[in-house]
Each structure stands twice: as C-alpha cells, then as structure tokens.
Amino acid sequence: MKIASFNVNSVKARLNNLTQWLSETNPDVVCLQELKCVDEAFPREAIEDLGYNVAVHGQKTYNGVAILSKFPMEDVTPRLPGDDSDEQARYIEALISTGTTPIRVGGLYLPNGNPVHTEDGALHEKYTYKLAWMDRLIKHAEILLTLEEPFVLAGDYNIIPQAEDCHKPSAWKDDALFRQESRDKFRKLINLGLTDSFRACHTEPNRYTFWDYQAGAWQKDNGIRIDHLLLSPQAADMLSACDVDKEIRGREKPSDHVPIWIELDIPE
C-alpha cells in the first residue's frame, strides 16, 4: 500500500499538476495540505474520477487538508484535539479499511511559526501557536500509540529535523522551522517511538521536499526536508520503501513542495 503526502499550495491552482501525478504514480492514500479552499470548492469530481474517496477539511484562503483514499474510509475526524477554539484547518484523520489490517492515517499541516519574535523581542504568537500545536500533536500521538495499531502521521511538518536536511543550515539557524525548541518538539514525537520513514530508508544528506519559489532556490537545489511520514511501531514493521518525487518540482506551474511517499507491506 502506497501512502503519500503532498502540500499542493492551493488545490485549485494545482489541479492539473495533482491529477497528472496521481495518474502516473497511483498512490492508494494521499494526504494533501494547503488546499486554500472551503470544502464546497474542493475539486471533488476530478479526484473521484481517478478512483479516490475524498475526505476534506477545508478553509478559505489559508490552510486546508484532505485525505484521498482508494479504500473506504471510516471514523473521519477533522481537527486535532486539545483546543476547541482553534479554527485553523490543519488536521484530518481517517481509518483506512484495507480489507485486512486497517491503517489509521492522520494528515497534518503544522504551523510555519514565523516570525519567531515580535518587534520588542518577545516570542511572537505565531511561534507560540506552532509550539502549542506540536504539544497537542505529541499528546494525540501518545493516545494513538496506546491503541498499539499501525498508524501514519503524514504531512507538512514545517520542521527541518537536522542540519543535513537543508542546503545551508546557517541561513535557518533562527527560523521557526529549525530553531532548537521546534526541533526538540519533533524529537519528542520521534522519541515516543515513531519512525521517520525517510530516514529509515535513506542516510544520505541534502534530500529535500521543498524549494522556495524565490531567488532560484530550485535551480540552486537550495531546499529543505520538511514533509514527513511518521510511523507507529506497528506501521514501521511494514515499511518497505520511502522516496520523494523530486522531478515534480521542475514541471510547469509546480507547488513549492513535492510529494513524499511510503510503501507499506500489509500482511495478508
């Protein structure tokens, strides 16, 4: 079973790019981020025509996440628990009925968190929101782990886990994507017992999932690895491959992110 994550940076602007990639690579499950549209505006028919069930948690202009699945989905739950006042559409979860072992999939768009500081030097609310959101994700992962089932937390984490996951670490030193507090929260998630799929399959440095639109970042391979699929121990036991569809970034009208995917060997 192939499970992918793709921050499309507007699903409407990216529809042709997205459907072409879906047709070519045929993933079973896809977590999408940054839809930038409400549920009613999601191009549902075009996706369903390719054989996917669709679960959307949209938002006007900002954020928005979805799960596409060739298998039926049960228990579809938008929102990350822990703060009922949070209106930002950044999380959706579903139980994927594979026919044998069900796989729980959480699709997430973790807050960017910049700027880190306000003008007077205090921590900016955007950064504290990011850290608080990560605390909620950690708590939720702890609860999912008690179920002792295979699950995948896939999405745009807006976290560069290590120096080797970016082109120029010094440029990111004080950025919300690389600051120590941010990376510590990500480590905390990993240390619960989750597996970073990409690092379980690859040791080489400088493999990226995002290249900025600005300043020729793509041409210079000035990228960062911020899209991740984290696995519960039961899912990690099924992991057979993980890779990044880098070539997508060089196509016409691309997203600034590219898809990352895993292959899970589900037992009969």
Question: How far is it, in rounded angstroms, from Cα 131 to Cα 244?
Answer: 27
Considering only residues 10 to 29 of the shown chain, the ones binding DNA according to CB under 7 A are: 10, 12-14
Of the candidate spans 8-16, 183-191, 200-208, 229-237, the one that interacts with DNA by CB under 7 A turns out to be 8-16
Q: Does 252 bind DNA (CB under 7 A)?
A: no
Q: Does 234 bind DNA (CB under 7 A)?
A: no
Q: Where are the beta strands (DSSP E) in the chain?
A: 2-7, 29-33, 53-57, 65-69, 73-78, 91-96, 103-109, 151-156, 195-196, 210-211, 223-224, 227-231, 239-244, 260-264
Q: How far is the CB of 213 from DNA (least distance, A)?
A: 4
Q: Does 57 bind DNA (CB under 7 A)?
A: no
Candidates 85, 146, 170, 214; binder of DNA (CB under 7 A) is: 214
Residue closer to DNA (CB basis): 25 or 114: 114
For the chain, the residue count is 268
Q: Does 219 bind DNA (CB under 7 A)?
A: no
Q: Which residues pair with 96 in a beta bridge?
A: 73, 103
Candidates 24, 203, 219, 253; binder of DNA (CB under 7 A) is: 253
84-120 residues labelled b (16+ CB within 10 A) or e (exposed): eebebbbbbbbbbebeebbbbbbbbbbbbbbebeeee
Q: How far is the CB of 8 from DNA (least distance, A)?
A: 9
**What backbone torsions phi and psi does residue 216 show, to the nearest 5 degrees?**
65, 30
Asked if 265 is an active-site residue, the reply is no
Asked if 109 is an active-site residue, the reply is yes
- Rounded to a whole number of angstroms, the CA Rg of the chain reads 17
Considering only residues 60 to 89 of the shown chain, the ones binding DNA according to CB under 7 A are: 60-62
Alpha helix locations (H) across 78-179? 125-146, 169-172
Q: Does 222 bind DNA (CB under 7 A)?
A: no
Q: Does 128 bind DNA (CB under 7 A)?
A: no
Residue closer to DNA (CB basis): 38 or 138: 38
Q: How far is the CB of 252 from DNA (least distance, A)?
A: 10
Residue closer to DNA (CB basis): 47 or 194: 47
Q: Name the token pair of 225.
A: 């690895």
Candidates 119, 148, 215, 267; binder of DNA (CB under 7 A) is: 215
**What backbone torsions phi and psi does residue 53 show, to the nearest 5 degrees?**
-80, 150
Determine which one of 109, 127, 157, 208 is catalytic.
109
Number of residues that bind DNA (CB under 7 A): 18
Q: Is residue 155 classed exposed, middle or buried when 0-12, 13-18 and 19+ CB atoms within 10 A define those classes?
A: buried
Candidates 20, 169, 191, 213; binder of DNA (CB under 7 A) is: 213
70-83 residues labelled b (16+ CB within 10 A) or e (exposed): bbebeeeebbbeee
**What backbone torsions phi and psi does residue 252 show, to the nearest 5 degrees?**
-70, 135
Contacts to DNA by CB under 7 A: 9-10, 12-14, 36-37, 60-62, 111-112, 114, 126, 213-215, 253
Residues identified as active-site: 109, 156
